[in-house]
Amino acid sequence: MPSLASISTSLQAVLTQSQVLEITQHNIANASTPGYRRQSAILTAAVPTSMSGSEFLNAAGQRGGGVTIAKVQRFNLEFFDGRFRTVSAETKNWEAQGEVLNQLEATLAETSEDGLLPKLDQFWAGWQALSSDPTNVSLRGVLLDDASSLATAFNRREAQINMLRSDQNQVIISQVDKVNSLADEVAKLNGEISHVLSIGEQPNDLMDKRDLALDQLSDLTGSVSFEQKNGEMVVSIGGQVLVVGHETIKLTTKSRPAPDSNVVDVYWGGTQLLVPPSGKMKGILEVRDVILKEQLAGLNTLAGGIMTQVNDIHRNGYGLNNAHGLDFFKGTVGSEAGSIKVNSDLDAASIAASSSLDIYGNTEEGNNKIALDIVALKTFKGMLTGTATLNDFYNVQITDLAVTTQRAATNTYQHGLVAKALSDQRESVSGVSLDEEAANMAKAQKAYQAAARMLTTFDELLDLVINRMGLAGR
């Protein structure tokens, strides 16, 4: 006759294999869910019981208690998580720099006819043409147009670079909001995870959500995280704590003092400046505060050099109308690229091409000395402490920009390869394989069917004992 213990063992097997199937179903359902880590039921034999009473005389050893689930294992390697986040954050840093630098290169358009170097060459060519026929009013008009086009090119580039810097402010503000939101999510999950762990259960899905948030935080700021004994994560950025337990330190943005009031910085709690070690935020700040600023300073230096060198020569010359002492360009010191323009007091007749007047007090006919001196500025090494011409100076600047842009692209690619390799390794451990889950499902299904069959067998035995034994004499 089957005992109640035997029935319980079969029932326990049915319930256990049913839960194994549920876990397998959960894995399959989340095979494409970002951040999900594969789970597996760790089966163990239940605690056996000793025989007693009449059973002790007819049996040997202890009665097995069947099967039970010791825990639901979450497949995860913290070592891979830390390495992956470090490399991924550096990838995002270079990727963010590359995206802005590509926008800057498109803005400068130096590979097209609208580039600043073609405008400069056109300006020098205008003076060269005028030097061959200094009294030609048409050539003077063309020169004014070329000069105006050059000044406009400076103005447009200065405005576009400043606009690009301003756009990065909006990106930074958006990223700060995202960081604060993710930090709040991690803090909330810390509380929920520590509570579940304290009652002896395994909060696998909550840990998946927290790890996904930690991945995103690292991509943004290069943050690092450390798990405490109670299961909570401490998150820090550059040595400064962002999340500890259930609490977060809010990041804020604040505008700089004038004249940089259109630029925002990121602060811890409004007081301490944040310097991200890597991640998208570092890339944006690096481009905005270093590369774009250097490009703007270079444009101002070049525009200032053109104004100074051309004006110093032009003031000494005479126009067709005997105009003398006029600056060719006007501009504001400190923002030369944004303010440079052709002197509004200058017209075609006022352009100084002659270096002297004739005996009658009129511009000396055929004198082209001033025009030739300005043409000579194209080859005059008046920049970089006498080592570069105006054209050379800008050539160096755009070459440096091209090298910087290429370096960002190369580092993005190289770090991306490492990040992908680490991601693949992490996925090989924690990712869901549908083929493997199908095999697990088939195994659990067979075990479930066998246990259910045992229950049916015990039911038939009990029916025989209760309903069909002892019928003689009735």
In this predicted structure, what is the pLDDT of residue 51?
Answer: 63
In this predicted structure, what is the pLDDT of residue 161?
Answer: 93
Binning pLDDT at 50, 70 and 90, where does residue 60 land? low
Report the pLDDT averaged over residues 385-410. Answer: 93
Which is nearest to 322 in space by CA: 370, 356, 368? Answer: 356
Report the pLDDT averaged over residues 85-102. Answer: 95
Residue 222, pLDDT > 90, answer yes
Proportion of the chain above pLDDT 70, given as a percent:
95
For residue 102, how far is the Cα from the chain centroid? 15
Provide CB contacts within 8 A for 95, sequence distance 6+.
280, 283, 408, 412, 416
Provide CB contacts within 8 A for 102, sequence distance 6+.
405
Binning pLDDT at 50, 70 and 90, where does residue 428 land? confident
Is 190:246 a contact under the CB 8 Å cutoff? yes
Over the stretch 155-193, which tens digit does the pLDDT of each residue have? 999 999 999 999 999 999 999 999 999 999 999 999 999
Residue 473, pLDDT > 70, answer no
Residue 461, pLDDT > 90, answer no
Q: Give the containing element (helix H, strand E) for 266.
A: strand 264-268
Report the pLDDT averaged over residues 31-52. Answer: 85
Is 275:238 a contact under the CB 8 Å cutoff? yes
Residue 48, pLDDT > 80, answer no
Residue 248, pLDDT > 90, answer yes
Cα 172 to Cα 354: distance, rounded to the nearest angstrom: 54
Report the pLDDT averaged over residues 5-26. Answer: 87
Which of 257-271, 341-355, 393-407 comes out lowest in average pLDDT? 257-271
Burial zone of 430 (CB within 10 Å; 0-12 exposed, 13-18 middle, 19+ buried): buried
Residue 364, pLDDT > 90, answer no
Q: What is the 3-state secondary structure (H, E, C) of 282-321?
A: HHHHHHHHHHHHHHHHHHHHHHHHHHHHHHHHHCCCECCC
Binning pLDDT at 50, 70 and 90, where does residue 76 land? confident
